[in-house]
Structure 1
Amino acid sequence: MPAMRVRAARIQPVQPQSGSMVGEVSALVARAQAGDAEAFGLVYDRYVDQVFRFVYRRVLDRQVAEDLTSETFLRALRNLASFRRPGGDFGAWVTTIARNLTLNWQQSHQRRERPVAELRDAAPVDRAPSPEATVVDALTREALVAAIAQLNPVQRQCITLRYLRELSIEETAQALGKTPAAIKSAQYKALRALRGLLSATAVMPA
């Protein structure tokens, strides 16, 4: 099934629907449920701006909002048979799909950003640094955030747990569901990657 393209939408209030409009939508949905692709296209045209505005207000990113809006209507099309009529509010139904997709995106986005945010806000640890910790401590706070964000997920989690939360190799391995050897390897690669990133920006001392 080809991807749906979301046209640029103006961010403006949603106008209430009249009774005649609801009747028209119900008729279009009935035709779409019977296999009329053109009818679904007309329903899409009627609601795409409303769904886009709903999503955009929550993600504040036009590209993300367009992607989630496209996915909303793809799911609506795949599950069209589950929409109940008469009396069903198609606008509310498709908005519920958009809401669920948006919540899933927000939760996933927060999980990706949390390790970096914790590193940004963490207070320095008052202890004698290990040679590995010296690599991390050499970063400025802003450089730390930028460099950590460029690591792959395993390396980023490893650095967060080892040097922010001060977990041991064994504790980090248990938290990530990996072997201690895998954590040692990830830590080594992460620190080497950080050194390379910082050398490129002249932040890391020789």
Structure 2
Amino acid sequence: MYNTAATSMTMLSEHELLAKAMDFDASAITELYDRYESKVYSYIYRRTGEPALAEDLTAQVFLKMLEAIRAGNAWHSSFSGWLFRIAHNMVIDYYRRRDRHSQVSIDDAPPLPEPGQNPVSSTQRKLDAEELRSAIYRLTEEQAQVVSLRFLEGYSINEVAEMMDKTEGAIKALQYRAVATLRQMLPVEIWQG
């Protein structure tokens, strides 16, 4: 037999679910976590490239969500936009702290390629990904968020506009400027795959 309370939560609209979460309904909060955890994790992972770090920061995002619900200081318009803003701020805070205390550890050494993989192409892919991640990090916060949500997470212009509480035209302009900037920063080889 399955849990009918949990099943009924999955049928609720986001607006209804958020209203229940604001009333401290544990099932509603669990459903919010289930709906957004993988998206938030993926967003953070794409910005950091480290699975364990992405897991830690994702957990912190949802703790912040719970604290905001408890304090009554939650979102004002778009819940998903608010949640991704928390995730974005967590990533920025992580890099600020890391840059202040930068030390090289043997644990940070890149892993060896898997047997049977071409070490040169494997290393080149990792370097290209790191170069892209570094270039995205140099974009404005809004441009970086649009690039991550549009191209790495696969959201539509309309969805990104809702998440970021902006018009579709503003998102298109941010995307255009971000791509133009990335084209200037990155070598042609990355764009050709």
TM class, shorter-chain normalised? Answer: 0.3 to 0.5
TM-score of the two chains, using structure 1 as the length reference: 0.42
Higher relative contact order (CA 8 A, sep 6+): 2
